[in-house]
Amino acid sequence: MSGNPYSKFGGDLILFHGASLTNFILQLVFFFLLYVLLKKFAITPLLTVMERRKMWIENHVADWENLKKQQIDLQNEQINVIREAKVEARTIISDLRDSAWVQAEQIVNEAKDENNLRIARAVNEIEMEKELALILIQEQSKELAERIVKKILH
């Protein structure tokens, strides 16, 4: 026997630095098996979860953008209401200036109070919708995190 430990098995081709072709092929096979197992049990489920999360985020960003657009629309409507109220108040004041100055001021103040009340109500509604959306996002984030943790632990 020539000093080759593989000579009793018919010898083996030595590649470089003492590594044999058999070991190299076995390592390739085990690496491939590891890759297949990781892909099936780790990578694919993780990518699925990430895709769902991406879609969820995109949907909530779209919802947020819609809420933002509604807020802008409400603000524009409020501006128009305020403009209309100012025009109405000026007309009333000019018509009644000589005969009922005190009454004209009272009407203007009532219009301003009504507009402030509308603004306060609209702001409250927007804040409530925003808080509700944030609560929904937090709940869904918690549920998703719990599902991910359960999947990781199982």
pLDDT, residue 93, reads 81
Six-digit token string for 58: 């995109």
Amino acid (one-letter) located at 88 = E
Give me the average pLDDT of each 10-residue run along the chain (154 residues).
Answer: 48 63 89 93 92 94 92 92 89 76 79 88 88 89 86 82
- The reported pTM is 0.35
The closest alpha carbon to 110, from 77, 95, 88, 79, belongs to 88
pLDDT, residue 16, reads 61
The closest alpha carbon to 152, from 35, 34, 42, belongs to 42
Q: Report yes or no: 50 and 113 within 8 Å, Cβ to Cβ.
A: no
pLDDT, residue 53, reads 94
- CA–CA distances in Å: residue 49 to residues 4, 42, 43, 104, 132: 52, 11, 10, 64, 25
105/111 Cα distance (integer angstroms) = 10
* Boundaries of every domain in the chain: 46-153
